Amino acid sequence: MTQLFLSLCLAASILFPFGDQPHPGDPFIIVNKQSNELAFINEDEIKKVRTVATGRSKELTPEGTFTIIVKAENPYYRKKNIAGGTKENPLGTRWIGFDAKNTDGRIYGIHGTNRPDSIGQYTTAGCVRLQNNEIEDLFNEVPIGTRILITSSSDSIEDIGMKAGALSR
């Protein structure tokens, strides 16, 4: 009986992992608002570190660990009724939305830009902004369900990744 119970618990923990920690090797994104950097981690290795734009005030870009739940090519900008794929669209060519503040992945996201000069600045309404070519690359590599950690830290990306459990070295 005890052996059966232990076997069921082990099977359940594999199917339904406990906690918010990524497993080493899983895709993972880190955004450090202090340095305005985004890191993409996969297969226990930092694959890319890119400069981003974040919220024009500290509280606009939410901090915490979230999940990517929406991806869209040439996203429509509903706030100002701007069609996707147009030069006027401030969301650029791709949208990777996450569930911050119990939203549906359409409020907070990582997206491109029609203002490439804004990258590296504190200028957004809360999203994380990348150059269009960089969001296109990330879009192709990040599956739905990827975890994203947004923080404001003086630690290196590697140290943040190790503390988050995304890196095992």
Known catalytic residues? Answer: 111, 127
3-state secondary structure of 47: strand
Q: 96 near 135, Cβ under 8 Å?
A: yes
Q: 42 near 27, Cβ under 8 Å?
A: yes
User: Nearest 5°: CA angle at 67, between 70 and 27?
Assistant: 100
C-alpha separations of 138 from 13, 17, 77, 122, 162 in Å: 30, 25, 20, 21, 21
Listing DSSP states for 49-112 in one string gives EEE-BEESSTTTS--EEEEEEEEEES--BTTTTB-TTSTT-TTTTEEEEE-GGG--SSSEEEE-
Rounded CA-CA distance 161/40 in Å is 10
